Amino acid sequence: MGWWRVNADTLAGSRFVISPLAEATASLIALETGTAAHPGERAWLDAHQTAYRKRLAGDPVTALLVRAALGRRWIADFLTLAPAGEGEPAFGEELARMRERSPQAARADLTVSLDGPLPASLHRSDLPERAADLLEWIWTETVLPYWPRRRQIMEADVVARTRKLSQGGWAAALDDMRPGMRWLGEGRLQINAYDYPPRKIAGAQLLFVPITAGRGWVSWDEPHRYALIYPCSGVLAEADVASVPEALGALLGPARAGVLVLLDTPKSTTQLVALTGQGLGSVGRHLKVLLGAGLVRRRRAGRSVLYYRTAAGETLLEAQRSS
């Protein structure tokens, strides 16, 4: 199995990062494979895959580049750059780093993802620019229109995982992050089930990067930073409004109880308005009462304030469901 040796200082300094480029790369993988992880992604693929296929049909070199880069076990490194700098990186800045990748390095990356020699038509000097141009098109045409909502899903996942970390330690926060990944203890983080030699990343920065698609990956900029890109727990489909236990509705009022039920995962007031059909003022008043009663808490995540149930809120809801 592949695992990383992580010391206490690296774990303490690790952080979650939302990366527009990682989301664009995940969208490229979904468009190329045509595989949807959930109904919302299926609807998105149906809306954009035809245009994607048409674009690649007119550019056979880039089409071959994509097939070569998305290997069965490994994605070419120049497509999966680890986020750099502090805070959330801008898409343009991330894309500029990709364009700066040397042609020789890109070709070497492709031989790894292909697990074999490079086709003759890919022995050229513009591979990083071609990949960046395609990702720029994917971002503009297929991701940017949905970005505010996708970003909220990612922020909610970060809040939920931070909460798991505080309650159950690293094992609780990391074990379900991506298939084959789990915390082994004693500074060992299994990242996949493949038979790769261990990597010592002590002293490097460790980043966790959520995406809304179904397939993640790992990337690094040795020896400075390592990144784990993982599918977040939210989905792009509208969530079905969960039923409100009758007793809970009688206790809190149906509208307020409905807000509490929806906070099984962290959500913003905007999301709650969309899911409940209530006005912003009404949702705000319900949240104020629930906060005052200690049934929910709030936490800032990037540009959003997300609300989630407390242990007391969970206990109340479970008691009403069992009654």
Structure tokens at 14: 């690790």
Which sign, positive or negative, has the C-alpha torsion 244, 250, 253, 254? positive
DSSP β-ladder status, 188-192 and 225-231: unpaired
In the chain, % of residues over pLDDT 70: 95
pLDDT at 96 over 70: yes
d(CA 275, CA 123): 51
Query: What per-residue confidence (pLDDT) applies to 55?
Result: 97
* CATH 1.10.10.10, the chain: domain bounds: 246-322
pLDDT at 317 over 50: yes
Check residue 18 and report its DSSP letter. -
d(CA 186, CA 130): 43
Structure tokens at 216: 């993640």
d(CA 32, CA 101): 23
pLDDT tens profile 172-203:
888 778 878 888 888 888 888 787 888 888 88
d(CA 93, CA 78): 14
CATH dotted code for 246-322: 1.10.10.10
d(CA 178, CA 94): 24
Angle (CA) 189 199 28, round 5°: 80
pLDDT tens profile 134-162:
999 999 999 999 998 888 788 878 887 88
DSSP β-ladder status, 205-211 and 225-231: parallel
Categorize the per-residue pLDDT at 237 as very low, low, confident or very high, splitting at 50, 70 and 90: very low
pLDDT mean over 280-287: 91
pTM of the model: 0.77
Average pLDDT, the chain: 88
DSSP 27-92: HHHHHHH---SSHHHHHHHHHHHHHHHHHHHT-HHHHHHHHHHB-SS-B-GGGSPPP-SSSSPPHH
d(CA 69, CA 76): 5
pLDDT tens profile 78-93:
999 999 877 788 999 9
Q: Could you give the 3-state DSSP secondary structure of residue 306?
A: strand
Structure tokens at 222: 């040795």
Query: What per-residue confidence (pLDDT) applies to 102?
Result: 96
Residue 46: count other Cβ atoms within 10 Å of its Cβ: 10
